[in-house]
Chains A and B, each alone.
Chain A
């Protein structure tokens, strides 16, 4: 369960201007937050859409755009699925948060199906709140490839739990706009940025470095998705002879339940290959916070396709 960013720690107050600059954050270094934020790594641009037929009282809708930079392309030729999921989590979580202001949310589950693994880019995302309840928000996301005549890329559903009131105070200038971050000079590849490294057997590890923590101090949900993607692909390649022998493998259908926050680390994604059906391998991924009594923090499945 991961609070969508931007989001401060309990009791903090922050104001986010139209340019996305953090004007006031207690207990969080805004420079670190701006420079090293996980969604910035994917250069996700975000903007709030005009009110729909239900007017100002209706739930907000947002759009986003993320380029497909060369170092972020996976074996399928497009944005790595883990990166796609990170942008989906970032935009969907933020939209869900706006829907329940002045309260905020934590992501509890992410279900996504990727229909196209080859992308021209940039990718455009749209997030619409489907249900705004007292305890939860459900948001649908759609991703298309602007560089390929808006060819469909992915559909996702994000469910968030609404946090208790008084946990924080959030203020945003509306409509919210966050410009696309400039490209980094000599950017780190995803494995390096996310501190992901192979473990023993069907295990992939992540070192919980500070840049992977969100403003709450816990591991960003997008980083968990990136780890799950990487771990499942490694497990499928190791378990299925000939899988991905041409170029590699890529994740298509993903379900993740964020059960508990990752606070300590290191983090391990322990995979079980369930089976292969018509060339697609389904992998169960259990993510544990080793330093926090090895507790299970995320569980899901990733279906992997040879490309």
Chain B
């Protein structure tokens, strides 16, 4: 299944090796393998990678439900819950409401085994890895007859194929830290990171915000970004980042006695008059406080 040739052959989604299934007309699941390249400093999977899974699962559902219209992610929230105790993590999404101008999707990220089945630990299903939700803005089709044809009736399976990641995912983007304490990081708006509009993909935006928030919040505690685990993202997508590079800034809100802290991260498209593209509420905790699980 592809959407007018998206993604291209060399693309982050392919390198993440995502496998997807539209399970019904309103539900889908997308999984990726837990590897050291996507590991967070606490040993789990980076929340930005999980947000990418969620964005893809929501997009797959939205493309089906809204056809022939199209969509843009308006907001996405994700909260880490438990460790990824399995070889794969899978986002399972379902529709909450389909309105005239918006579609709301809920997703639960769970650990799964090699066959895609639920992982059990000591005979019980472990806590989910994360809970997420998102809102899509409906973009009415200008010419419904020109919309991409729907695939066959569900279930429909497809995979994003690529060469795989040979380095940590933040290095693959790549994220360049300009000023850690100020939460200033820079990422190019390259085709490798693009969405179907040619702008920086929504999940990549989450990874950038994760990196910026971790840098700023870590600096307050004398750490760099690798010393923090981002546990929550609340993302408001305001505009597309088409030109780049996308550069962030962060405002640290508070740091608790146990090191858990929050920041507001702004992303701007510096090649487009420094346009504000995204605002993200980021929460994080020190890596040594986080649940440690070796991927």
Name A's B-contacting residues (CB within 8 A): 108-109, 111-113, 115-116, 130-131, 135-136, 138, 140, 151-152, 155-157, 159, 161, 253, 255, 257, 259-260, 274-279, 282, 284, 296, 299-301, 303
What is the distance, in angstroms, from A128's C-beta to the closest C-beta of chain B?
Answer: 10
A157–B262 CB distance below 8 A = no
Sample of 14 further A-B pairs with CB below 8 A, known A157-B234, A257-B97, A301-B79: A109-B75, A112-B281, A115-B256, A115-B261, A136-B101, A152-B253, A157-B236, A161-B101, A253-B79, A255-B79, A274-B81, A277-B80, A278-B289, A282-B81
B290–A282 CB distance below 8 A = no
A253–B101 CB distance below 8 A = no
- When the two chains form the complex, which single residue of B96, B131, B232, B279 contacts A140, counting CB atoms closer than 8 Å? B279
Q: Mark B125-140, 1 if CB is under 8 A from A, else 0.
A: 0011001010101000
B127–A275 CB distance below 8 A = yes
Q: For A140, list chain B residues within 8 Å (CB).
A: 236, 264, 279
B131–A282 CB distance below 8 A = yes
A111–B234 CB distance below 8 A = yes
B77–A277 CB distance below 8 A = no
Whole-angstrom distance between the alpha carbons of A275 and B281 in the complex?
A: 21
Q: For B285, list chain A residues within 8 Å (CB).
A: 278
Residue in chain B with minimal CB distance to A114: B262
What is the distance, in angstroms, from A270's C-beta to the closest C-beta of chain B?
Answer: 14
Whole-angstrom distance between the alpha carbons of A274 and B258 in the complex?
A: 22
B128–A113 CB distance below 8 A = no
A113–B289 CB distance below 8 A = no
Given contacts A108-B135, A253-B232, A278-B291, contact A259 B79 (CB under 8 A): no
Whole-angstrom distance between the alpha carbons of A118 and B279 in the complex?
A: 26
What is the distance, in angstroms, from B21's C-beta to the closest C-beta of chain A?
Answer: 23
A111–B137 CB distance below 8 A = no
Given contacts A159-B74, A277-B231, A278-B289, contact A301 B264 (CB under 8 A): no
Number of A-B residue pairs, CB cutoff 8 Å, is 120
Answer whether residue B276 sits at the interface, using C-beta atoms and an 8 A cutoff. yes
Q: For B279, list chain A residues within 8 Å (CB).
A: 130, 140, 157
Residue in chain B with minimal CB distance to A260: B97
Answer whether residue B198 sits at the interface, using C-beta atoms and an 8 A cutoff. no
B133–A155 CB distance below 8 A = no
A159–B231 CB distance below 8 A = no
- When the two chains form the complex, which single residue of B74, B106, B289 contacts A136, counting CB atoms closer than 8 Å? B74
Q: Kindly name the residue among A131, A161, A274, A277 whose own CB sees the greatest number of chain B CB atoms within 10 A.
A: A277
Q: Mark B107-129, 1 if CB is under 8 A from A, else 0.
A: 00000000000000000000110
Residue in chain B with minimal CB distance to A283: B131
Answer whether residue B186 sits at the interface, using C-beta atoms and an 8 A cutoff. no
Answer whether residue B283 sits at the interface, using C-beta atoms and an 8 A cutoff. yes
Q: Mark B226-269, 1 if CB is under 8 A from A, else 0.
A: 00000110101011000000000000011010101110100000
What is the distance, in angstroms, from A163's C-beta to the closest C-beta of chain B?
Answer: 11
Q: For B236, list chain A residues within 8 Å (CB).
A: 111, 130-131, 138, 140, 157, 159
Answer whether residue B82 sits at the interface, using C-beta atoms and an 8 A cutoff. yes
What is the distance, in angstroms, from A305's C-beta to the closest C-beta of chain B?
Answer: 9
Given contacts A157-B279, A282-B131, A303-B232, contact A259 B104 (CB under 8 A): yes
A113–B81 CB distance below 8 A = no
Whole-angstrom distance between the alpha carbons of A156 and B236 in the complex?
A: 10
Q: For B261, list chain A residues within 8 Å (CB).
A: 115
